[in-house]
Structures are given as structure tokens and as C-alpha cells.
Copies of this chain bind each other. A is one copy, B any other.
Amino acid sequence: MTLEVSGLTHRYGSKTAVEDVSFSLADGEIVGLLGPSGCGKTTIVQAIAGHLRPAAGRILLRGEDVTRQPPERRRASVVFQEPTLYPHMTVGENVAYGLEAREIERSRIDELVETHLELISLASRRDAYPAELSGGQKRRVELARALAPEPDVLLLDEPLSALDRSLREELRRAIGRIQRETGVTTLFVTHDQADAMALADRLVVMNEGAIAGVDTPRALYESPPTPFVASFLGRSNAVEATVVEPEPLVLAVGEQTLTLPEARSDRPAGASVSCHVRPADLTLAESDGTDTAPTLSGAVSHVTDRGSRYDVSVTLPTDETVVVERQAEPPPAGTTVTVRVPAAKVTRFGADTAGK
């Protein structure tokens, strides 16, 4: 393991910022640390970089315990949300800065600066000052400065958050390319699930200072371990149901029943479960009735035209509202419709995971 975080706990005053967080990064891996603002992501980054001494827990870099080492003795480079290029140094001097701290020959430094400026396609701006660069160029130079000393781990702390959508996607592609080319072990911290899913090999999803799930983006999206992960990784409809029959699974949603033939439940009949299903997986059934998929009936309460699709809100007799995505012209509000619920796309949570 290149980076191991184990049992990390930290408090600010009486407020717990991070509680017993453990995860690790294999060599060359890019891992997304994802969670809403205030979930403790930045505390973790600061603890790894050494700008904060955690109340408990250990940080290991290439097997060495660095928890009590100052930042300059860890090989962990950080790129912050706001640019931190040195305004009194040129682009080349900024990139060389981290190299000069190490005992490297001048000619080798020049060479490494050149290589890293080529990596970010800015070799021609070597003598420019940061103030002369555009926002996206500054970000790329920061990446080059962070990468040039060949750190054990690259920490990207919300590097895209302050940027426009088009610049953001361009830089996201650049980060992906550079990470593949250099193979640097990278922890990518973000609150944006689209950025995380597009870049990361694996995701560590955080909520309120604790880990809510760790897995590949696809596994977390398709089989979220907790309701929080289900709704944080994309839009999700939650419907409360009661187990009628554990196997084959039959659920009661108010007066209606939902039969999920290939599923079984480890909860007994009568237990409450929360069912999550994504709006894109729901469809409005045609009226021919030859369909055998499980369905729920309700009335269209509201339609939003999103340009590329319609969001159809359907209120069930239980007063819960589910959103169904639809490309074709939707039925008007008030219409009674049947919502097809594909059994394989339904994730169920018992009461024990519902709070997480």
C-alpha cells in the first residue's frame, strides 16, 4: 500500500470532524474521496499532508508511519481548491521550487521542469508569471509543480470546484490523462459525484465524518450499501415498504404489492424496508397490460421539462412522490399512470442501515 489511513479521528473543539476513518491506496491507483461539504474530507487531506496532527489514528506512506512527521518530511504533494502558485516566481521557478528542496543537480532540475511543463502542454509559458495565465493554465501549472518532485501520493483537494463547467471538464480530462501517464498514486477529493465517478478507480464515500461506502463507482452506483450512498451518487427515489413474503420477495407499498421474483430478503415478514430506485430506471407502463414487470400506480403531480428529458413526478396513494425520467411527451398532471419498477434495479435497506 502506498498510503494507509488507519483509525483516523479528529475533533475541532467539541465537534467531531472525522471519526475512525480507515482506507488505503494501492500503488498507481486513483481514488476519489467523495462527500458533501463538511463531511471531514479536508481534515483527512490535511492529516495526510501533515498540516494537522490528528487526535487519534495513523498515516502510513509506503509503510512508514508519518503521523508525527512535519509536512516537509512526507512525500505528499497537495493541490488546493484555490490556486497557490507563487506570484513572485515564474511558471518555471514554481515548478522547480519543489525540486530545489531536494538534492538534485541544476541540469537535472531544468530537465524535470521541461518534462513536467510538456506534460501539461505549457512548455512555452515557462517564463510567464502566474498573473499572466488563465485560470485553467494556473491549475495545470499547479499540477506540474505538485508532480515534479515525484511524490509518493498526490492529494487533489477539490481542484475543480471553483471552475466553470467547460473548463472543469477539460481539466478533468487532463488530470485523468496525466495520472495515467505518470502513474502517480492519487487521492482526488471532491463533493461532486460526476467528477469522482469520471476519474476514480475506486471511491471512498464519506458522510458526517465517517465512511459510508468504499468500492468502484459502478458497484456503489448499482448496489449502494446505504441510502446515503444511493442518493449521493445520483438521483434516487425512496419508497417505504413492508415485507409480506421473504422469498420470493413480496413487498407492500401502502395498499399495493410489489413482487420481485428473483430477489429474497433476509428480513422476516412484517419488517420495514426502504426501497431505492433511480428515476432513469423507472418507466411509465403503456396501457396494453401485457407487461409482467412489477408496477405501482399513482397520479402525475408535476412535470418538469429539462430540455433533454422530462421529469415526471408521480404521487403514490401513500403520498410518497417518485420521479420518472421520460424522453417522450409525458402525460399531463392529474393523469393516473402505472410505473414499471424493474426488479433488478431496486435496492432495499433495512432499518439498521437506513440512518447511515
* Chain A residues proximal to chain B, CB less than 8 Å: 36-37, 164-166, 191-194, 197-198, 216-218, 220-222, 232-234, 278, 280, 304-308
Assess whether B221 is in contact with A193, with CB atoms less than 8 Å apart: no
Q: Which of B193, B217, B220, B306 contacts A165 (CB 8 A)?
A: B193
Contact status B191-A307, CB under 8 Å: no
> Which residue on B lies nearest to A280, using beta carbons?
B308
Each complex incorporates copies of this chain amounting to 2
Tell me which residues across on chain B come within 8 A of A306, comparing CB atoms.
194, 197-198, 217
CA–CA, A267 and B194, complex, Å:
40
User: CA A234 – CA B165 in complex, angstroms?
Assistant: 11
Give the docked Cα–Cα distance between A308 and B234 (Å): 8
Instruction: Give which listed residue, B198, B216, B308, contacts A304 with CB less than 8 A.
Output: B198
Q: How far is the CB of A223 from chain B (nearest CB, A)?
A: 12
A217-B308 Cα distance, complex, nearest whole Å: 9
**Given the complex, which residues of B lie within 8 Å of A164, measured CB to CB?**
36-37, 191
Q: Which residue of B lies closest to A219 (CB)?
A: B307
Of B217, B233, B307, the residue contacting A220 (CB under 8 A) is: B307
Nearest CB in chain B: distance from A222 CB, A: 8
Cβ contacts under 8 Å, A194 to chain B: 306
Residue of B nearest to A173 (CB): B304
Of chain B, the residue at the smallest CB distance from A199 is B304
